[in-house]
Structure 1
Amino acid sequence: MNREEMSRLAHAEHPIKSPLDDESVRQLLARGAPRGDERLLDLGCGGGEWLLRALATHPRLFAEGVDTSEDALEQAHEAASRLGVQERLALHHQDAAQFRSAHSFDLVLSVGAAHAFGGLLPTLAAARTHLAPGGRVLIGEGFWEREPSQEAIEMLGDFTDLATTLDHVAADGWTPVHGHVSTRRELDDYEWSNWGSLASWALDHPDHPDSPQVLETAAVRRTEWLRVYRESWGFVSLVLRRTAG
């Protein structure tokens, strides 16, 4: 089973692909798009869950999403049709780092997708090119809550602590106007949901040729979380405005 299909199964019960509960997502969108008539862009939208929730809540809002996964975009299109918001959503099958639009956007999102740009600051640089004057960026990024092991760094990446992460954001010309640090419950719920969903699929499909691989992957990923990074890794979501320029 390929990585994309594995991810779809893992997120079956947690369509927001970050450690955030529904209320945190709602609050972040409310802070990012306070008027309700904004134009939104999600760079690395996957199945479009952030955009779909914003569109369903605000009938005057328009949104665009960019992703390299044709299957994920098709899922987003089908979900938008079910919700009746498809006329206010444009989807682009493209590398988010290469995307260009004739529009500028009041809110640019990129939550948990910084790897597609090469890190936090390159992601902000990409977002800046799409931002309307006075617009906001909603970005989600990992950080180290405690000193990580070398194994954790090799597994997840070379993050910094929370204070240093915010220092880098400020030095790059951004001011946080809202933020949310994922709680222990959100972090744990996300991991339990991912690996539990994978394991459940494998147990429900014992005759499927990929079932042993999926079950093993769930066990390995659960062990890595519990033994390697659970005590050290955190996740912060920030709503940012340009400090100047």
Structure 2
Amino acid sequence: MTDHDGPPHLTRLAFHGPLSEERAARVVRRLVRTGPATVLDVGCGWGELTLRLLAAAPRATAVGLDTDGESLARARRAAAARGLADRVEFAEESARGTVRGPADVVLCVGSGHALTGAEPPGHVPAALRELRRLVAPGGRVLFGEGFWQRVPAPAELAGMWPGASAADHPELAGLVDAAVTAGFRPEWTETANGDEWEEFESGYQADAEEWLAAHGDRPGAGAVRERLDRHRAAWLHYRGVLGMAYLTLIPA
């Protein structure tokens, strides 16, 4: 988008989630230790982590699945710019019941909902069962999923997303236990820190906030302002309450 038709979208973010460059580099090194040949990225968005995996694992090819055509177009442009377009397919399709696996590395970062129609709290076990089906023997899964750092108070829930409930996420111990029950051993458990969350949430809003400050009198600016204010209010209610875990899982 241009200044004439609305704000640009998510140009400040490398990753669509609270993930720092430093953590991403460590995750990539861990995932390529076993020399993967195939990568499957569920809910890939613009595919940044997949492209970094391919750069670190020159034998590998990858498939990224998402239903957001705009993000997939960004992924394809990035792949072409890095000389990786012949090693990756970004497919606009649902991941539910996908037959794209098994793969040596399966990424599912903030996208467990893409694998199942189960409602909370059953969505996490259902997603993990699907990931167990999609990973090859001896492979690795990177599962990025939200968890409650503590049980949210009713007033905090009321300020989050519409219909927010304490059942929407497990606590971290329950999340790791669900992975073990689904047939994994947790090789590595790590969680996003406060700096990563603030970088993500500020970067998520920054393009539109900058545009709104300069163009607040334009047609459509009211809807942009409402969206920004609603998201910022939700974030400030779940700040310090909602966490993001990155589990590196080995199929048992």
TM-score category (smaller protein): 0.7 to 0.9
5+ long unaligned stretches in structure 2? none
Q: CA deviation at 1:221?
A: 1.3
Q: CA deviation at 1:41?
A: 0.4
Match for residue 65 of structure 2? 66
Match for residue 149 of structure 1? 153
**Is the CA contact 2:12–2:206 (under 8 Å) kept in the aligned structure 1?**
no
**Is the CA contact 2:7–2:207 (under 8 Å) kept in the aligned structure 1?**
no
Q: CA deviation at 1:145?
A: 0.7
AA aligned opposite 1:210 = G
**Is the CA contact 2:109–2:143 (under 8 Å) kept in the aligned structure 1?**
yes
Alignment TM-score, normalising by the size of structure 2: 0.85
Match for residue 237 of structure 1? 246
C-alpha distance in 2 between matches for 1:7 and 1:65: 27
| Residues 112-157 of structure 1 deviation map (CA, whole Å, 9 limit, x = unaligned) | 0112224222222222222111111101011111220232483376
**Is the CA contact 1:33–1:106 (under 8 Å) kept in the aligned structure 2?**
no
Q: CA deviation at 1:76?
A: 1.1
Q: Secondary structure at the match of 2:168?
A: coil
Question: CA 1:16 to 1:90, structure 2 compared with 1: closer, same or farther past 3 Å?
Answer: same
Match for residue 12 of structure 2? 13
Match for residue 129 of structure 2? 125
C-alpha distance in 2 between matches for 1:202 and 1:90: 36
How many residue pairs are counted as aligned between the two chains?
A: 236
Q: Secondary structure at the match of 2:164?
A: helix
5+ long unaligned stretches in structure 1? none
Compare the two structures and name the one with the higher helix fraction.
Answer: 1
Superposition CA RMSD, Å: 2.4
1:35-54 mapped onto 2 (5 Å cutoff): 35-54=34-53
| Residues 202-229 of structure 1 deviation map (CA, whole Å, 9 limit, x = unaligned) | 3344465333211221122112211x21
Q: CA deviation at 1:109?
A: 0.6
Q: CA deviation at 1:7?
A: 11
Q: Secondary structure at the match of 1:238?
A: strand
Q: Secondary structure at the match of 1:110?
A: strand
Q: Secondary structure at the match of 1:231?
A: coil
Question: CA 1:80 to 1:213, structure 2 compared with 1: closer, same or farther past 3 Å?
Answer: same
Aligned residues with identical type, % of pairs: 32
Alignment TM-score, normalising by the size of structure 1: 0.87
Q: CA deviation at 1:235?
A: 0.8
| Residues 22-58 of structure 1 deviation map (CA, whole Å, 9 limit, x = unaligned) | 1111211221222454311001111111111222333
Question: CA 1:80 to 1:239, structure 2 compared with 1: closer, same or farther past 3 Å?
Answer: same
Question: CA 1:33 to 1:205, structure 2 compared with 1: closer, same or farther past 3 Å?
Answer: farther
Question: CA 1:207 to 1:129, structure 2 compared with 1: closer, same or farther past 3 Å?
Answer: same
Q: Secondary structure at the match of 1:132?
A: strand
C-alpha distance in 1 between matches for 2:178 and 2:133: 19
Match for residue 214 of structure 1? 224
